[in-house]
């Protein structure tokens, strides 16, 4: 983590708190360390990120299907996957101040806080445990899943049998995962409860290198298409000693966060490790029979695994701008329209009854297509600023002339340009704009995002 991005994390945290994107969990009780609640705007951007991922990974492809598996799974899943034995970090304690550190992250051999002597490293398992049923004993221990991937592997045969998918094909899932991380922090970058978006793409062994490269490119392009600046993204190939013992190769897509370059997504070639292990531990065959050669094989797996919360943070950092405007500083989130919490906000110039009626009618029409805002308090200038700050690409202003000429003003977030158009063309015009077209060229119909 060397170079420092221009926007400080404190600016992002403050904006998120102030405008209702993200709050500390259980805040009225003093908060719960490394857990976060998404507020009214945060929930929209988070949903939009997941939907954009689902559209790219499932909806627009013939070779991927979705799943939604349970968070609690049979404990043997975690024996087979290696999480019970191997999913741990080395911990050291300071003998003097009792603070606890991750040994692999310490660059010095004495406590960074007080200089005290440290204990020998001990392995600390990162899975959260709980009990299933009313008896709290060892026989009833279950774990909160630390990744969504295993729900996919254990359903491999169910999916093959019910969908008749042929290799190569993938299974995608988004959902919560839990890790009792020792070092958390950097806002939503590393928390103990988070969401993942994972694809397990099953391929014929021997074609895995080609598919690994394919998914690296797909995933990098996904972030670029959603507006992440190329200079804020790069690949980092895992060194041999970083690789899980079963993985043939792994690349991280890293983003230049305010604290430096850090992992946004990992894209791994997991070979046949997972299906082989589950087959061994469950006693069920997870082989795939090739319909032409009739050969039985265990497919290899390419896994692009992304964090929802990390992606939200990256999109926010990437979109944050402060620019001088007249005597003030304009804060603007230049979010891609498909990620913006509101696509359009309706602003009546005054609260006069006839103007409000027209504005509400217009709002009702627009919200059928898009997530919209409505704001009738304070000056229009201030209202534009508020919408800029939360990334709303377009505002529609209704003034007294609108009552006479049936026209309204559309104001663009990025250019601050304004155009006046007939109300009957509003939906079509905004649809065209959201789809990336200019005011001048309108397609025959609007498009919903
Ligand atoms: N199934 C593979 C897997 O889980 P991982 O690299 O441990 O791989 C994948 O996690 C992604 O999940 C990471 O790139 C990151 O975006 C996200 N992630 C992992 N741990 C996280 C945490 N504690 N807080 C937030 N996101 C996390």
Where residue 6 falls among pLDDT bands split at 50, 70, 90?
confident
Q: How far is Cα 41 from Cα 52, in angstroms, rounded to an integer?
A: 17
Which pLDDT score, from 0 to 100, does residue 447 have? Answer: 34
Q: Is the CB of 175 under 6 A from ligand 1?
A: no
Q: Which long-range contacts (CB under 8 A, 24 or more apart) does 89-95 make?
A: 89/123, 89/124, 89/126, 89/182, 90/121, 90/122, 90/123, 90/124, 91/121, 91/122, 91/123, 91/124, 91/182, 92/118, 92/119, 92/120, 92/121, 92/122, 93/118, 93/119, 94/118, 95/119
State the pLDDT at residue 276.
Answer: 98
64 CA → ligand 1 middle, Å? 21
How confident is the model over 378-388, as a mean pLDDT? 96
> How close is the Cα of 372 to the center of ligand 1, in Å?
32
Which residue out of 33, 69, 81, 147 has the highest number of ligand 1 atoms within 8 Å of its CB and is therefore the one to mutate? Answer: 147
Query: How far is ligand 1, taken at its centre, from the CA of residue 10, in Å?
Result: 23
Is the shortest distance between the CB of 191 and ligand 1 below 6 Å? Answer: yes
Residue 449 has pLDDT above 70, yes or no: no
Of all protein residues, whose CA lies closest to atom 14 belonging to ligand 1?
Answer: 265
Residue 325 Cβ contacting ligand 1 at under 6 Å: no
The answer to whether the CB of 266 is under 6 A from ligand 1 is: yes
Ligand 1, residue 263: give the atom nearest the CA: 14
Instruction: Please tell me the predicted confidence (pLDDT) of residue 441.
Output: 36
305 CA from centroid of ligand 1 (Å): 7
Share above pLDDT 90 across residues of the chain, in percent, rounded to a whole number: 85
Asked whether residue 448 carries a pLDDT value surpassing 60, the answer given is: no
- pLDDT, tens digit (0-9, with 9 covering 90-100), for 118-127: 999 988 899 9
CA of 206 from ligand 1 middle (Å) equals 27
What pLDDT does residue 183 have? Answer: 81
- The answer, yes or no, to whether residue 362 has pLDDT greater than 80, is yes
CA atoms within 13 A on the CB side of 96: 9
CA–centroid distance, 189 to ligand 1, in Å, is 10
CATH class of 9-71+147-316: alpha beta
> Per-residue confidence at 444, pLDDT binned at 50, 70, 90?
very low
Mean pLDDT taken over the chain: 93
Pairing mode, if any, of strands 169-178 and 64-66? parallel
The CA–CA distances, whole Å, from 247 to 244, 274, 299, 420 equal 5, 10, 14, 58
State which CATH number among 3.10.350.10, 3.90.1150.10, 3.40.50.800, 1.25.40.10 fits the domain covering 342-448. 3.40.50.800
Domains of the chain by residue range: 9-71+147-316, 342-448
Task: Report pLDDT digits (tens) over 187-238.
Answer: 999 999 999 999 999 999 999 999 999 999 999 999 999 999 999 999 999 9
Instruction: Work out the pLDDT band at 2, boundaries 50, 70, 90.
Output: very low
pLDDT in tens, 321-338: 999 988 899 999 999 999
Rounded-to-integer distance, Cα 276 and Cα 280, Å? 6
CA of 177 to the centre of ligand 1 (A): 9
For a ligand 1 pocket test, name from 304, 305, 315 the mutation site with the most ligand atoms within 8 angstroms of its C-beta.
Answer: 305
Instruction: Count CB neighbours of 78 within 10 A.
Output: 21
pTM: 0.93
Residue 49 and residue 315 in contact, taking contact as beta carbons nearer than 8 Å: yes
- pLDDT per residue over 108-161, tens digit each? 889 999 999 999 998 889 999 999 999 999 899 999 999 999 999 999 999 999
Model pLDDT for residues 167-185, shown as the tens digit of each residue: 999 999 999 999 999 888 8
Ligand 1 atom nearest to 189, measured from its CA: 25
Nearest to residue 195, comparing CAs of 183, 178, 182, 181? 178
For residue 73, the model assigns a pLDDT of 98
Mean pLDDT value of segment 46-65:
98
Give the distance (Å) from ligand 1 centre to CA of residue 306: 6
Q: Which helix (H) or strand (E) holds 289?
A: strand 288-289
Query: Which pLDDT score, from 0 to 100, does residue 291 have?
Result: 84
Please indicate whether residue 341, judged by its CB atom, sits closer than 6 Å to ligand 1: no
The H or E element containing residue 432 is helix 426-434
């Amino acid at each position: 983590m060397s170079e420092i991005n221009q926007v400080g994390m404190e600016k992002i945290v403050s904006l998120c708190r102030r405008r209702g994107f993200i709050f500390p969990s259980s805040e009225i009780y003093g908060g719960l360390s490394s857990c976060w609640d998404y507020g009214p705007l945060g929930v929209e951007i988070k949903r939009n990120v997941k939907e954009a991922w689902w559209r790219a990974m499932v909806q627009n492809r013939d070779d991927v299907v979705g799943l939604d598996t349970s968070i609690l799974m049979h404990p043997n899943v975690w024996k087979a996957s290696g999480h019970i034995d191997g999913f741990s970090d080395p911990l050291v304690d300071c003998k003097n101040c009792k603070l606890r550190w991750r040994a692999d992250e310490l660059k010095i051999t004495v406590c960074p806080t007080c200089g005290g002597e440290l204990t020998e490293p001990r392995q600390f398992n990162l899975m959260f445990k709980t009990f299933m049923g009313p008896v709290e004993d060892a026989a009833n221990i279950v774990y909160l899943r630390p990744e969504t991937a295993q729900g996919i592997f254990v359903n491999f045969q169910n999916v093959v049998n019910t969908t008749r998918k042929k290799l190569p094909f993938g299974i995608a899932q988004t959902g919560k995962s839990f890790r009792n991380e020792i070092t958390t922090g950097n806002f939503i970058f590393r928390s103990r409860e988070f969401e993942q978006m994972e694809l397990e793409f099953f391929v014929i062994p021997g074609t895995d290198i080609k598919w690994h490269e394919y998914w690296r490119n797909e995933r990098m392009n996904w972030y670029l298409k959603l507006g992440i600046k190329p200079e804020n993204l790069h690949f980092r190939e895992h060194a041999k000693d970083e690789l899980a013992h079963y993985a043939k190769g792994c690349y991280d897509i890293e983003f230049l966060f305010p604290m430096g370059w850090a992992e946004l997504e990992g894209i791994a070639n997991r070979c046949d490790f997972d299906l082989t292990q589950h087959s061994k531990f469950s006693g069920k065959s997870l082989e795939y029979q090739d319909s032409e050669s009739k050969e039985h094989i265990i497919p290899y797996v390419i896994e692009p695994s992304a964090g929802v919360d990390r992606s939200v943070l990256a999109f926010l950092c990437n979109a944050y701008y402060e620019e001088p405007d007249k005597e003030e500083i304009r804060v603007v989130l230049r979010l891609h329209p498909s990620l913006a919490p509101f696509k359009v906000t309706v602003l009546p110039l005054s609260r006069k009854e006839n103007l409000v009626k027209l504005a509400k009618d217009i709002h009702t029409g627009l919200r059928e297509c898009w997530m919209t805002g409505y704001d009738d308090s304070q000056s229009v200038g201030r209202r534009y600023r508020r919408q800029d700050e939360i990334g709303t690409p377009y505002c529609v202003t209704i003034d007294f002339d609108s009552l006479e000429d049936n026209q309204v003003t559309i104001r663009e977030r990025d250019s601050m340009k304004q155009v006046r158009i007939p109300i009957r063309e509003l939906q079509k015009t905004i649809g065209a704009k959201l789809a990336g077209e200019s005011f001048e060229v309108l397609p025959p119909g609007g498009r919903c995002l």
